[in-house]
Amino acid sequence: MARTITRNISLALLIAFCIVLSGCGRTHDKNSINAAPYPDHAYLAPTPPMGWNSWNIFAKDIDEARIKAAADSMVSSGMRDAGYQYLVLDDAWMAPERDEKGALQADPVKFPKGMKDIGDYIHSKGLKFGIYEDRAYRTCQSLPGSFGHEQIDMATFAAWGVDYIKMDSCSAEGNGRLSSEDYAIYRQYIEETGRPVVLSISDFGNAAWVWGGKETSQLWRTGWDIRSWMDSVYACGDCSGGSHRSHPAFNGLWQFAGPGYWNDPDMLQVGNLKIEDEKVRASANKAHFGLWCMLAAPLMAGNDLPKMTDTVRDILTAPEVIAVNQDERGVQGYKVFIDDKLEVYNKPLTDGTTAVLLLNKGRKKADITVTWEMIGLSRKQPVRDLWERKDLGTFKDSFTAKGLSEHGSMMLKIGKKGKPIPTAPPVPLEKYTITRQGVTSLADLYYAWRDHSTPVYNRTFGGNPIRIDDKTFKKGFGCKSKAAFMFAGTERADRLMGTVALDESYQGDNEGRFRIFNEDFFGNRVIWDSGKMTKDSPAKEFDVELEDYRCLMLVFEGRNTKDGKQANDVLGVFADPRVIADD
Ligand code: GLA
């Protein structure tokens, strides 16, 4: 009974939170991003999924013995009881050929007893079974992908007892389908099997939060592959929690996650970090894990579990740190302070307290202070150290972590239990989505995704006024090759207009090309293409009708005129790009 009440309250909270935060509770209308009803499958991951994945430590070298040993260790190390549920076999579990009926089969040498046997073993340990596939003809390791076999593959996985699918995107440009279409196909065939299966979008961070990943999936990558060094860990963290992938106005992607769908900065490298000094290594492991917990990131461990040291095990199973990640309010933490390499993150929790991470990403020893003002509190507040599981006392107005060395961090719980404290205000929909009647200048909106170099608003890349043929344009973007950025759309837009030219300050001989896509690169849906332009080409205007588009991606690329290779020095301008909605 008590359980049911708790569940109902959390469900109500979850739905209310979701409606407030992102408008996803609305029915399909023309004015909301990712306009879809609250997805039924959100129950599959009410909190960020936790588990272990084979890729970071073993890459292609997986086999029955290694996977079963990982399953055993998940139990004996206490990882399962700490919340790690999914054991995911990444790429290279499959045979190079399908069977005579077209079904996938296990690599006969690595997994002689087949995948059902592996699934049964994983389940017998009280764990859930996860598997990898790719939505193209081939996986990233050139093994059979699922394109053209979507239905049979989802049925095969269901028959093997699969509970989680990581669906990758290598070579998916060849599919001729938008990412949103691809993942909808998998969700549909999964649903037809009747088996509850988590679907994980693995696409190197190509804007699932903009094009509607939550309509089909429970998590999506926000960046490139994580590596086993801290620069990479922090860069991946900043794809979710910083401005690597979105306009700084968003302060990370926190407003795009919530119970049921999560930003995934990639799998954990805790235990794999190549750092000589043992103390620094332990600090780095904690910094990485604490950051992922604050970012409400899926916690997919990626280390060699049977060989894990006690220090690493204690980090991966730290109960109060994990509780922050698994808090059912599902707020993704966001930065409230940054001073070069020193950062403070805040994650308001269900019980009225808030989790705070003080993190030194630099090499120099430093003190870091969180003030109550940064986190929406005041007066005297109790502070608890979540790594040490120790109350530190009551503090007035602020708390300072003293002498944090390289990768040093503190993870705290601050405040008294009570009414949940508000989050920071999310960026309103109309500030990043084409919703208006009449003319919307794209330069009045924040891009919700970007890759490569950052476009400059209303100026050339070098910071000068945008001028083409003696005419000055107040609005537009200055770009340096290569630049790609995306605006969220709705169906309410009829035309897209603007002018492009190479920046008049560019005097080189290389070529530039401007393209506008519907959705991300994988779909290959080019709405407009300038073709090759040089400094001598006249400006080109575009005026195209828009139909069935979800988001607009603007791309500027430079090429070496002689050999066609990418040239990074070419400058171009999108002048007055605008969308017109007639009704
Ligand atoms: C891609 C993914 C990785 C991993 C490999 C496997 O690079 O991003 O996480 O799955 O493929 O080939």
Nearest 10 degrees: CA dihedral of 30, 32, 37, 41? 130
Q: What confidence score (pLDDT) does residue 549 get?
A: 84
Which structure tokens are listed for 47? 């909190």
Whole-number Å distance, alpha carbon 370 to ligand 1 midpoint, is 37
Whole-number Å distance, alpha carbon 181 to ligand 1 midpoint, is 21
Longest dimension (CA), the chain: 75
- Compute φ and ψ for 126, nearest 5 degrees: 80, 25
Whole-number Å distance, alpha carbon 290 to ligand 1 midpoint, is 24
Closest by Cα among 507, 513, 579 to 546: 579
In eight-state DSSP terms, residue 453 is S
3-state secondary structure of 98: coil
Q: Which atom of ligand 1 is nearest to the CA of 226?
A: 9
Closest by Cα among 252, 582, 203 to 446: 252
* Integer Cα distance of 267 and 150 in angstroms: 25
The number of residues making up the chain comes to: 583
Contacts of 5 (CB under 8 A, 6+ apart): none
140 lines ligand 1 (CB under 6 A): yes
Whole-number Å distance, alpha carbon 16 to ligand 1 midpoint, is 35
Other CB atoms within a 10 A radius of the CB of residue 63 amount to 16
* 540 within 8 A of 500, measured Cβ to Cβ: yes
* Integer Cα distance of 46 and 296 in angstroms: 11
Contacts of 404 (CB under 8 A, 6+ apart): 358, 359, 360, 365, 366, 367, 368, 410
200 lines ligand 1 (CB under 6 A): no
Q: What confidence score (pLDDT) does residue 35 get?
A: 40
55 lines ligand 1 (CB under 6 A): yes
Tens of pLDDT, residues 3-51: 332 333 233 333 333 333 333 322 233 333 444 444 577 789 999 999 9
- Compute φ and ψ for 191, nearest 5 degrees: -60, -35
The runs of H, that is alpha helices, within 386-523 are none
Q: In what order do the strands lie in the sheet with 354-360?
A: 334-339, 342-348, 354-360, 409-414, 380-385, 390-396
Q: Which atom of ligand 1 is nearest to the CA of 221?
A: 8
In eight-state DSSP terms, residue 11 is H
Q: What confidence score (pLDDT) does residue 36 get?
A: 43
* 179 within 8 A of 523, measured Cβ to Cβ: yes
Q: Which atom of ligand 1 is nearest to the CA of 225?
A: 8
Q: Got the DSSP string for 437-449?
A: SEEEEGGGS--SE
Contacts of 94 (CB under 8 A, 6+ apart): 104, 105, 106, 107, 139, 143, 144
557 lines ligand 1 (CB under 6 A): no
142 lines ligand 1 (CB under 6 A): no
Please, what sign has the CA dihedral across residues 173, 174, 178, 184? negative
Residue having the nearest C-alpha atom to atom 1 of ligand 1: 140
pTM for the model stands at 0.93
Which structure tokens are listed for 45? 């991951």
Q: Got the DSSP string for 164-176?
A: EEEEE-TTGGGG-
The residue ranges of the chain whose pLDDT is under 70 are: 1-39, 491, 583
90 lines ligand 1 (CB under 6 A): yes
251 lines ligand 1 (CB under 6 A): no
Contacts of 114 (CB under 8 A, 6+ apart): 105, 106
* Integer Cα distance of 371 and 369 in angstroms: 6
520 lines ligand 1 (CB under 6 A): no
Whole-number Å distance, alpha carbon 354 to ligand 1 midpoint, is 34
Choice from 140, 146, 220, 228 to test ligand 1 binding pocket (greatest atom count within 8 A of CB): 140
Whole-number Å distance, alpha carbon 132 to ligand 1 midpoint, is 9
Q: Which atom of ligand 1 is nearest to the CA of 139?
A: 12
Closest by Cα among 257, 216, 262, 260 to 42: 260
Which structure tokens are listed for 270? 């805790």
Residues with catalytic roles = 168, 225
Nearest 10 degrees: CA dihedral of 16, 433, 266, 554? 170
Choice from 203, 225, 226 to test ligand 1 binding pocket (greatest atom count within 8 A of CB): 225
Please, what sign has the CA dihedral across residues 265, 268, 270, 274? negative
Q: What is the mean pLDDT of the chain?
A: 93
141 lines ligand 1 (CB under 6 A): yes
Whole-number Å distance, alpha carbon 59 to ligand 1 midpoint, is 9
Q: Which atom of ligand 1 is nearest to the CA of 166?
A: 10
- Compute φ and ψ for 22, nearest 5 degrees: -135, 5
Contacts 24+ apart (CB under 8 A), 451-460: 451/205, 451/206, 451/245, 451/484, 451/485, 452/482, 452/483, 452/484, 453/479, 453/480, 453/481, 453/482, 453/483, 454/483, 454/485, 455/479, 455/483, 455/485, 455/554, 455/574, 460/503, 460/505, 460/571, 460/573
Q: Which atom of ligand 1 is nearest to the CA of 266?
A: 9
* Integer Cα distance of 513 and 532 in angstroms: 5
Residue having the nearest C-alpha atom to atom 12 of ligand 1: 140
Which structure tokens are listed for 16? 């209310």
168 lines ligand 1 (CB under 6 A): yes
* 407 within 8 A of 361, measured Cβ to Cβ: yes
* 333 within 8 A of 84, measured Cβ to Cβ: no
